[in-house]
Amino acid sequence: MLKGISPLLNADVLYALKSMGHGDMLVVVDTNFPAEAIASQTVLGEVLRIDNVSAADAVAAILSLMPLDTFIDDAATRMEVVGAPEEVPQVQHEVQAAIDKAEGKHWPLMPVERFAFYERAKDAFCVVQTGERRFYGCFTLTKGVIPPETE
């Protein structure tokens, strides 16, 4: 247990967050996502797990340490619902709320078509699989920078 760090963030996830640089992307996925197949193609090359928690709780824990990239419009994305791209499931509303809280302002989740999402995920630094069982609990988060402290 570490002071000030969410207990949901295990050593493997902390290592990945520390290793990522500005512009590196992390993928947070539900239990139905083909995590092993996609993760094998990422920089890290293996699936990281935050088991038994929702996607929103995992995203909140990750964003408690990782800033989002302010230089791009799609620093936070969600997988679109197949056949209903305008639909936003409850799990995505919950993750949107977690992002907004972490960033202190509304930060829109940009939609990405399912197969485009899979391709995008292959270019990520890593894949974090959660215990989320609801469909479409899949998101990407792109790491930003932490500015120097002012004097």
Dihedral sign, Cα of residue 49, residue 44, residue 36, residue 75: positive
Among 30, 57, 69, 136, the active-site one is 69
Q: Is 30 assigned a catalytic role?
A: no
Q: Is 69 assigned a catalytic role?
A: yes
- State residue 133 phi and psi, 5-degree precision: -100, -10
Q: Is 93 assigned a catalytic role?
A: no
Among 22, 51, 93, 123, the active-site one is 22
The span from the CA of 103 to the CA of 128, in Å, is 20
Sheet (strand 126-130) strand order: 47-50, 126-130, 25-29, 139-142, 76-79, 110-112
Structural contact between residues 95 and 78, judged by C-beta atoms closer than 8 angstroms: yes
Among 24, 30, 57, 118, the active-site one is 118
For the annotated catalytic residues, the residue numbers are: 22, 69, 118
